[in-house]
Chains A and B, each alone.
Chain A
Amino acid sequence: MTVARQVGVVVFPGSNCDRDTYNAFGSVLHQKVKFLWHKDTSLDGVDVVVLPGGFSYGDYLRSGAIARFSPIMNEVKKFADRGGIVLGICNGFQVLVEAGILPGALVKNENLKFVCRHVYIRVENTETPFTSQMKKGQVLKVPIAHGDGNFYADDDTLKRLQDNDEIVFRYSTSAGETTRTANPNGSLDNIAGVVNRRRNVLGMMPHPERASEQILGSASGVMVLKSVIESLN
């Protein structure tokens, strides 16, 4: 890694993984990180935007439904339209689908439970800025912590995601088998993360920032963040 990049972490009222994300990009990957407040009307020249996990606006109405109308989201949308790299983690993913920046929806987990544990996800597409440092089929161990992570899309959208290789991560066993029992929330086709067609916006329910150091139980998630930084160099 040559030049330190400027990462912007958006803070909504109710975000709670903003500091984890800050730590992973800052202390672990030695990048410059700044928080962007949801009321800001400028991204302040950042190279990457992260929408972190949490419970923006208390998940009122639907997860992410209110946050998508925050002033900063206009700028995030423009940034994404210009090809800027946007990573939405957990609640950040929910905000991106509510905003229509990513397809589909995240509905209540099939088993109705809030699921908080480490899961395995298989890398399906390495031709994205978020997975460039990985191998296709590689399995990452990352935690999930959500009640509304059940990915849904109508049949046409799902087919488009499959045909265009927009599914980046699928829930799997540690051996990389995408079985039904490896699916923690009922997501269609074991989908854990998707990109837009241009591949500059990724939404994923698992938390790579919470798997950024061995002391946290796994360091394999940091590969996602590292890939993002490398893709800018």
Chain B
Amino acid sequence: MFKARIEVTLKAKILDPQGKAIESSLHNLGFLNVSRVRTGKNIELFVEVATLDDAVSAVRLACEKLLANPVTEEYESELFSADGISLARFSSRDKSPRSAEKAE
């Protein structure tokens, strides 16, 4: 059993209006030295497989098929043992991103 923590963020080129709204709110509160606020999603899941390699492939596949949209988003993931020891880290930037199912 492995635990995965996945962070999905918008690609740098994509405008993040939530981040902008938070940033202007922080400025209004007096945090004038704050800039480039970006938001994202945090997803946690457990995966029941025998080896760490299997866990990495399962989580990677889940990210690429559903959890992140390859057109607009990137993902980073960290895998942990059941007792919380960090075992692996990987992200959508590790390899050339999956070519999105191109519409004809």
Q: List the interface of chain A (C-beta within 8 A of B).
A: 61-62, 65, 69, 97-105, 107-112, 150, 152-154, 186, 196-198
Contacts and interface: CB of A to CB of B under 8 A. Distances in A.
A102 B15 CA distance: 21
Nearest to B65: A69
A112 B17 contact: yes
B86 to A, nearest CB: 25
B102 A100 contact: yes
B103 A100 contact: yes
A97 B71 CA distance: 10
B103 A110 contact: no
Q: Is the interface of A mostly helix, strand, loop or mixed?
A: loop
B101 A100 contact: yes
Interface string B15-30: 1011011000000000
Contacts of B18: 108, 112
B42 interface: no
Interface residues of B, number: 18
Given A104-B71, A152-B72, A198-B104, A61 B17 contact: no
B12 to A, nearest CB: 13
Contact of B103 (A65, A103, A108): A103
Interface string B42-80: 000000000000000000000000110101100000000
Contact of A101 (B21, B71, B103): B103
A218 B71 CA distance: 35
A207 to B, nearest CB: 22
A155 to B, nearest CB: 9
Contacts of B10: 107
A65 B71 CA distance: 13
User: Which has the most chain B C-beta neighbours within 10 Å: A101, A108, A109, A110?
Assistant: A108
